[in-house]
């Protein structure tokens, strides 16, 4: 399988084709686009039948080998079996099997309308990012060992991404992680999760400032190309292609677990921010997985809901980006959205370049087909099964209460956004699978507000706030940051 940038000129495409291993460790393509395969591999009904009863790890191999043909299958198998184990994804609810990796639970079945929860948050950091990041850690270690190379991951986090990256990379040979977070601004639970790691290759840096200061420092360091090259700086943000591929696997798994034969269709509702998770669902559907609808659920930060209702993509300014009780969906623009737009404009890289230039200069584009708009492709969105909806803090609190009362389980705030929106699109005969993107214990404040009691913590997390913490407090000063990195990479 070869890869091309979403902004590549079709005429010059042959010059910029890449293999999976070439793009594994990188982020954006040099032209500022995102990588996509030149075509989506197809899955036959016969293959689906064979995959129905496979272990999660073996299913992951079947899908990975379609995208990463340049890595020997035996190596992919070893990596998948090391990643997707019952021990890594052990934080399941009572009655669920850790060996299922992403257990499904039917919540409701009224009038033939089935509501199903697929749990993606049983990994070490209790959020769905572990599903891809754990594989990425093993893939990175494997690829770096082959090249006898090393990589220093440098990023900023306000919570989920940073901890998922650290738990995936801890103890990995050839890799160090430098993670900035705003000093004293994360929840006690999230702080404890990250700062209690004692692995010598993990560097937690608490910056005296807010999240934007952390991100500005990452940008400043990334823009210093000489420094970046000398210190072998890389990232693990959600546009990384291998992360998207790893996420494709659980859509297949969810489909196969919720159906008995390939005649049946299912829909998925996905709590969304950067469009990484649901982009994997879009790819699964393009590969031939019988998905009826893909429903984007947003919180008050409704950039994506606005697009899927109107055809207008309008990124938000910082002042318009709200801090909500589902904080991992608090985004001003959706960094993976360009991958979908590329498909929507039929792979016209020049058009994608123009549209996203407009995002930079004018803050967005309009594909509604209205007079003066930038195009009329919005009418094609239905062909891809997309629908959307929005949920607010009041909806989350109510949904958490309803789900506890009606089904006897406690869900987190992001998943609550998903369930609220899913209920607007339920249909008889088409199971609605809602992806559970975090466990409630991570966002206890809102659980307390909704239920008047604390969320239960999985075994081993009872007292994490009391564990010794290892971190460095630093001012928001780029030259001090560079000196710190230089001293610790030893390069």
Write out the residues near ligand PLP by the rule CB under 6 A: 127, 129, 160, 238, 271-277, 328-329, 414, 437-438
Smallest distance from ligand PLP to CB 46, Å: 31
Q: How far is CA 205 from CA 134, 300, 368, in A?
A: 22, 30, 44
DSSP state of 137: H
Considering 129, 172, 176, 333, which one is annotated as catalytic?
129
**HSE-up (13 A, CA, CB side) for residue 234:** 21
Smallest distance from ligand PLP to CB 196, Å: 19
Nearer to ligand PLP, 233 or 439 (CB): 439
Task: Say how far apart CA 396 and CA 450 lie, in whole Å.
Answer: 9
Two tokens at 124?
């070490």
Smallest distance from ligand PLP to CB 187, Å: 13
Smallest distance from ligand PLP to CB 305, Å: 12
Nearer to ligand PLP, 201 or 247 (CB): 247
Task: Give the DSSP per-residue string, 292-345.
Answer: EEEEEEE-S--HHHHHHHHSEEEPPPGGG----SSGGG--SS-TTHHHHHHHHT
Two tokens at 321?
């980006």
3-state secondary structure of 153: strand
Two tokens at 161?
């991404």
Q: How many CB atoms lie within 10 A of CB 475?
A: 11
Smallest distance from ligand PLP to CB 282, Å: 12
Task: Say how far apart CA 391 and CA 377 lie, in whole Å.
Answer: 26
Smallest distance from ligand PLP to CB 345, Å: 21
Q: Is the dihedral of CA 475, 477, 479, 484 positive or negative?
A: positive
Two tokens at 272?
């969304």
Alpha helix ranges (H) inside 148-266 = 160-169, 188-195, 211-223, 225-230, 241-258
Smallest distance from ligand PLP to CB 277, Å: 4
3-state secondary structure of 5: strand
* Residue ranges with strand state E in 171-255: 175-182, 202-208, 233-234
129 annotated active-site: yes
**HSE-up (13 A, CA, CB side) for residue 37:** 20
Two tokens at 138?
């093993």
| Residues annotated as catalytic (active site), given as ranges | 129
């Amino acid at each position: 399988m070869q890869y091309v940038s979403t902004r590549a000129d079709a005429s010059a495409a042959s010059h910029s084709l890449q293999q999976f291993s070439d793009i594994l460790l990188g982020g954006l393509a040099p032209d500022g686009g995102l990588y996509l395969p030149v075509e989506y591999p197809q899955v036959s009904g016969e293959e689906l039948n064979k995959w129905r009863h496979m272990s999660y790890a073996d299913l992951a191999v079947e899908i990975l080998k379609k995208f990463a043909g340049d890595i020997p299958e035996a190596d992919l198998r070893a990596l998948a079996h090391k990643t997707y184990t019952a021990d890594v994804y052990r934080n399941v609810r009572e009655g669920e099997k850790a060996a299922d990796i992403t257990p499904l639970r039917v919540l409701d079945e009224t009038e033939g309308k089935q509501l199903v929860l697929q749990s993606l948050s049983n990994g070490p950091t209790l959020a769905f990012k572990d599903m891809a990041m754990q594989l990425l850690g093993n893939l990175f270690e494997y690829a770096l060992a082959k090249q006898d190379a090393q990589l220093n991951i440098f990023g900023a986090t306000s919570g989920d991404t940073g901890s998922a990256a650290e738990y995936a990379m801890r103890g990995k040979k050839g890799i160090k992680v430098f993670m900035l977070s705003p000093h004293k601004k994360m929840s006690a639970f999230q702080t404890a999760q990250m700062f209690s790691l004692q692995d010598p290759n993990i560097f937690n840096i608490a910056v005296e400032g807010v999240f934007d200061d952390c991100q500005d420092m990452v940008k400043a360091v990334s823009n210093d190309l000489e420094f970046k090259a000398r210190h072998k700086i890389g990232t693990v943000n959600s546009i990384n292609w291998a992360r998207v591929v790893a996420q494709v696997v659980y859509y297949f798994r969810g489909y196969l677990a919720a159906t008995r034969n390939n005649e049946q269709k299912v829909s998925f509702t996905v709590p969304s921010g950067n469009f990484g998770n649901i982009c994997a669902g879009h790819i699964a559907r393009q590969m031939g997985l019988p998905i009826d609808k893909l429903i984007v659920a947003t919180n008050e930060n409704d950039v994506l809901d606005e697009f899927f209702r109107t055809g207008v993509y309008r990124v938000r300014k910082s002042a318009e980006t709200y801090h909500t009780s589902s904080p991992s969906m608090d985004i001003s623009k959706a960094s993976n959205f360009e991958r979908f737009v590329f498909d929507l404009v039929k792979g016209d890289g020049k058009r994608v370049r123009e549209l996203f230039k407009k995002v930079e200069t004018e803050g967005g584009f309009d594909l509604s087909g209205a007079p003066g708009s930038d195009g009329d492709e919005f009418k094609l969105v239905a062909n891809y099964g997309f629908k959307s909806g929005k949920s607010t803090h009041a909806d989350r609190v109510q949904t958490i209460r309803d789900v506890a009362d009606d089904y006897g389980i406690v869900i987190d705030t992001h998943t609550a956004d998903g369930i609220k929106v899913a209920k607007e699109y339920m249909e008889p005969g088409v199971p609605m699978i809602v992806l559970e993107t975090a466990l409630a214990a991570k966002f206890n404040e809102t659980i307390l507000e909704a239920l008047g009691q604390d969320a239960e913590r999985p075994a081993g997390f009872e007292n994490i706030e009391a564990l010794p913490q290892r971190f460095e407090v630093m001012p928001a000063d780029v030259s001090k940051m560079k000196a710190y990195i230089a001293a610790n990479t030893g390069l």
